[in-house]
Every structure is written in C-alpha cells, then in structure tokens.
Amino acid sequence: MATTIYTSFKQHILVTTFFSALVLSIGCSQSGQFPVTHLGDSNQSSGIVDPAPETPETEEPTTPTTPTEPETPSYKMQALAWESTSYPQRTLWSQHLQKIISTDWNTLLAGADDIEDFCPTYYKLANDERANVWAQLFVAITKYESAYSPTSRMQETTMGTDPVTGRPVYSEGLLQLSYQDIQWAPWCEFDWSKDKSLSATDPKKTILDPYLNLDCGVGIMAKQVKNKGAIVLSSGVYWAVIKRGGSYQKISAIQSIVKSLALCK
C-alpha cells in the first residue's frame, strides 16, 4: 500500500514538473518578441502603445535682410518722351504714371471727346496701352509747364494770395501745381505745415515731390475729363498749355509728342 502511494505521488511530481517546464518555455518564447535593451530605450513600447506626438516648435517669422525683387509688370511700356539715360529717375516716374492711371484714375481709360486728336488709334487699344498714351500726354504737358524739372516754380502774378500759405500763389513742381489746390482736390497730399520751414526749391517739399505732384495732377485731369469730357478746353482748363485760344497754348506740340508713340500710329 505504501509502495503504491509512493509510486502514484512520484508520477504526479513528474507530470507536474513536465507541464511547468512546458509553460515556462512557451512564456519565454513569447516575451522574446519585444526584448528590452535598456530602460532609456525610446522604442521599448513599440507595437503596443503609440508614442504621444511631439509638439513642433513654433518658428518666429524673420524679416528679410534685403528687399524682394518687384514683380515684373506683364505690360512693357513704350518709353515716354522724357526718358533718358542721363535722367534714370524719369523711368521711375513713367512707371508711376502708368500705375496710377491704370488704378487710381482708371476713369481716364474710357477716353475723352478729343483723345483721338492726340492718338488716332486710341479706341483700338487695350487698357494698358491706353494708360501708356495718357502717361505720354502728361509728360508732354510737363515739358511745356516745367521743362521736366521737379523743383520748377513760378509766381502767378494775377492770382493774388494763396489761402493755404498766406503768400503769393506759386505754381510748382512737374505739373506746376499750387498749395491752394488741396482745398478743392483732397487727393493732393501737399503739406504746407511741413514745407513752410524749407527753402523755396528744397526737393523735400511735398509739392515738389515728383510722385505726389503727378498724383495730384493726374487726378485734376481725371476730374476735368469727367466733368467736361475733353482735354482741350476754351475755359475751365487747369493748364494754360492746353487752353484753346490761350496765349500760352502748346496744343499742336503736345499732340505731336503723344502721336510719336508707336501705339498711336
């Protein structure tokens, strides 16, 4: 009886040992799929839990150290009469004229009753070309008003006192404009409060700034064409050089300058 019990107990021990060894073997095999190399291993959880995404650092915008190149205009202007290699700044004035006529004062592009007297092909032209024609017209007016000099000044002896300056009226700059114009042409950005301390022909004067002067003058022409329909008038015209029958008119000469554009032939 004792021998039988001992034999049964021994068999139980052997079976238990066998199954324990089998389980241990299987467990080690499975855990070997994801070995841990060391505690600092960033991939120790790989395949089990996705790591939290890293928050990218926000990069502060930087200011370029050099200005970017201006965009190349899609329309290449035909050169205006005042352009010369001796006066490179005039090419910039030309580009400014083209821009403001095409944008701020684009009502001019519809034309005027007498625009074909200056450019016979005007109504066959695209808008960029029409702006080019108007730009040449302003250049032609400037030739006879100021000889293309942005610091040109002339006292208007018959016009009394300028209500803005409290001094005699002077026509100044490329298109020979006056400070008093700001009273009825609010787009003109002449600032007497800044200019009064400067010398009469100081190019820093706002009225002598070629860009501000052109801005003002183009607007004056746009207003005239809108209200009266024409460039050349017998009365109510701003510039004496385009006044029909006037002592200082240069109408034919101005027409010839505009017609010299290849666009108008």
The answer to whether 138 touches 218, Cβ cutoff 8 Å, is: yes
* Domain membership flag for residue 178: yes
What's the pLDDT at 38?
33
Q: How far is Cα 166 from Cα 169, in angstroms, rounded to an integer?
A: 9
From 25-29, 90-94, 190-194, 221-225, the region with the lowest mean pLDDT: 25-29
Instruction: For residue 232, give both structure tokens.
Output: 């050349």
Flag whether pLDDT at 14 surpasses 90.
no
Top pLDDT among 249 and 16 is at 249
pLDDT per position as a tens digit, 117-166:
999 999 999 999 999 999 999 999 999 999 999 999 999 999 999 999 99
92: left (phi over 0), alpha (psi -120 to 50) or beta: alpha
**Arithmetic mean of pLDDT, 4-32:** 43
Task: Classify residue 181: in a domain, yes or no.
Answer: yes
- Reading the block at residue 201, the tokens are 């022909």
Backbone angles phi, psi at 200, to 5 degrees: -55, -35
Whether pLDDT at 67 is above 80: no
Q: Residue 171 domain-assigned?
A: yes
Q: Tell me whether residue 199 is in a domain.
A: yes
Nearby residues of 92 by Cβ (< 8 Å), 6 or more positions away: none
Tokens of 134: 């108007």
| H or E element in which residue 172 lies | strand 170-172
Q: Please compute the mean of the pLDDT values over residues 60-64 and round it to a whole number.
A: 38
Largest interatomic CA distance in the chain: 153
Lowest mean pLDDT among 53-67, 207-221, 239-253: 53-67
Instruction: Residue 108: name the closest of 227, 27, 195 by CA.
Output: 227
Does the pLDDT value for residue 35 go beyond 60?
A: no
Determine the average pLDDT of the residues in 53-82.
58
Confidence band of 74 (pLDDT split at 50, 70, 90): confident
How many independent structural domains does the chain possess? Answer: 1
Domain region containing 208: 89-264
Can you give the length of the chain in residues? 265
Q: What is the pLDDT of residue 41?
A: 36
Is the predicted pLDDT of residue 75 greater than 70, yes or no? yes
On whether residue 259 sits in a domain, the answer given is: yes
**Mean of pLDDT over the chain:** 82
Whether 204 is covered by a domain: the verdict is yes
pLDDT, tens digit, 9 for 90 and up, residues 188-206 = 999 999 999 999 999 999 9
Cα end-to-end distance, the chain, whole Å: 135
| Distance between CA atoms of residues 241 and 156, nearest Å | 15
14 part of a folded domain: no
Question: How far is 218 from 198, CA to CA, in rounded Å?
Answer: 26
Strand, helix or coil at 161? Answer: strand
What is the 8-class DSSP label of residue 188? Answer: -
Question: How far out from the chain centre does Cα 156 lie?
Answer: 37
Closest by CA position to 102, among listed 140, 141, 132:
132
Is 80 within a domain? no
Residues 105-116 have a mean pLDDT of: 99
**Model confidence pLDDT, tens digit, residues 113-124:** 999 999 999 999
Q: Which pLDDT value is given to residue 10?
A: 45
SS3 assignment, position 214 = helix
> Which pLDDT score, from 0 to 100, does residue 73 have?
62
Give the helix ranges, DSSP H, for 110-250. 127-146, 192-195, 210-228
